[in-house]
Amino acid sequence: MNRVQTRDGTSLYVKTLGQGRPVVLIHGWPLSADSWDPQMIALAEAGYQAIAYDRRGFGRSDQPATGYDYDTFADDLADVLESTGAKQDVALVGFSMGGGEIARYMSRHNGAGVTQAVLVSSVVPYMLQTPDNPDGVPQATFDEMTAGMRADFRHFFTGFFKDFYGVGLVTQPVSDEQLHWAFMTSQMAGQYATLQAAKAFATTNFRPDLPHFTVPTLVIHGTADKTVPIDATGRAAAAAISSADLIEYDGEPHGLFATQQDRLTQDLLDFLGRR
């Protein structure tokens, strides 16, 4: 199976690898399920069934005109679980905006079938800076991102991925080829979908969803993440989820699945093995 039809008729690209307990991996903005390939291989080799899918509007999935909100994203996740048979003893792993799917699924679908959750560089619980969320990202920053994507969609992502992976004048945590893959993958997404999804992760307040995390939860976040700052997200989520453990990757940027591929994979396997 490589396609799942959601309840509103949207076709999502899904891939699976291995047999065993299901581990569903949800990618970040603006990438695709392929960002999880190294972890999927390791999970399959360790006796798990790794499942990943392209979010609506991204990668090889349909680009509908509607549905770029977290209620719909959570419903899409529920439909993927149903269609792939991942109904019991499921571990959910969400990177960046993918953490939001997990949070909304836990509340909207009562966490059906889920026994563990992992939030990696996640936007949960709230990205936007407000009077009661002073460590968040200012609205002006998101406005600048929107303006940049509208003005020159291709050019915007050339610079975006440098911060994403922590590339600087004296730092090069990933290869030029990894940067090229990320750029090319971002261009598989529709511009409208990319803009709408960015609005969703920038403005959705997941704080009401956090009490629904009643399963063991692992939060992993880089302390030098410029894309999703740790104070408003990783640290806040770990403090609010009573069942959560926090692992901070000192000095690491946003794209941990690539900059700390082996460490992240091992931390996932260690956590899953505690069940």
- Tell me which of 32, 96, 121, 122 is the catalytic residue: 96
Tokens of 130: 């407000």
132 is catalytic: no
CA–CA separation, 275 and 195 (whole Å) = 38
- Is residue 61 part of the annotated active site? The answer reads no
225 noted as active-site residue: yes
Nearest to 120 by CA among 238, 265, 236, 234: 234
Set 54, 62, 75, 225: catalytic member: 225
Q: Nearest Cα to 239, choosing from 228, 249, 231, 229?
A: 231
Q: How far is residue 3's CA from residue 12's CA, in Å, rounded to a whole number?
A: 5
Residue among 35, 61, 75, 254 flagged as catalytic: 254
Q: Which residues contact 20 (CB under 8 A, 6 or more apart)?
A: 47, 48, 49
Active-site residue set: 96, 225, 254
